[in-house]
Amino acid sequence: MPTQDIVLSIVSSYLIGIFLIPTLINTGSLTKIPFPYLSLFVVFPLVAIAGMFVANFLGKKIKILWQVAKFGLVGVLNTAIDFGVLNLLILLTNYTQGTGLGLINIPSFSLAILNSYFWNRKWVFADSKKGNFVVFVAVTAIGLLINTGVVVGITTLIPPAFGLSPTLWANVAKVFATGFSMVWNFSGYKLVVFKK
């Protein structure tokens, strides 16, 4: 694996750890993880690097696997940023449902998307033509509508299930929203924004 890929994998895995902290604090999960900072800043980066080495090796036989692995790691970083900022804003505003949650979802998703553009342009789709930021924003805006619609829809129409608190339920909704918008974003980036 080239040195640049190793460095970018390490940097992204450390950033993931940093941005996961507000989510883990807000959901009460930080204290439930044994040695949380060791897990976030030593174990996770080692696992991420090992996974990237495997993906790089397999990508020599099936090229798209390496690109999907890089997109996946960048996606985890974007998700950590999105969740981290959202949970920080939930802590500050106490919005855990409906329109208020939708409004604070916009800056969290937007910061994750700016990060996404940088990493996708410079690393994931580096061998493609340079992506147009305006087209990237257009594709991503649809992803934002999908993401926010799912978050608002789930938290408004479905009461917290399984005895979850409203904060945990907002995070469950965000997981589903992220899944839907991730499929849209990868397709749009690969086929439109960063097409060869």
Structure tokens at 69: 């692995």
List average pLDDT for each run of 10 residues in the chain, which is 196 residues long.
Answer: 93 96 94 93 95 95 90 93 95 90 90 91 82 86 92 93 91 91 88 84
Residue 76 is predicted with a pLDDT of: 93
> What's the whole-model pTM score?
0.82
Asked if residue 164 lies in contact with residue 172, where contact means CB atoms within 8 angstroms, the answer is yes
Amino acid at 103: L
Q: 22: number of CA atoms within 13 Å, CB side?
A: 18
C-alpha distance from residue 127 to each of 10, 82, 115, 137 (Å) = 21, 27, 19, 20
In this prediction, residue 132 carries a pLDDT of 81
Domain boundaries, the chain: 3-193
Question: What is the C-alpha to C-alpha distance for residues 122 and 140, in angstroms, rounded to an integer?
Answer: 17
Distance separating alpha carbons of residues 84 and 17, to the nearest angstrom: 10
pLDDT at 103: 92
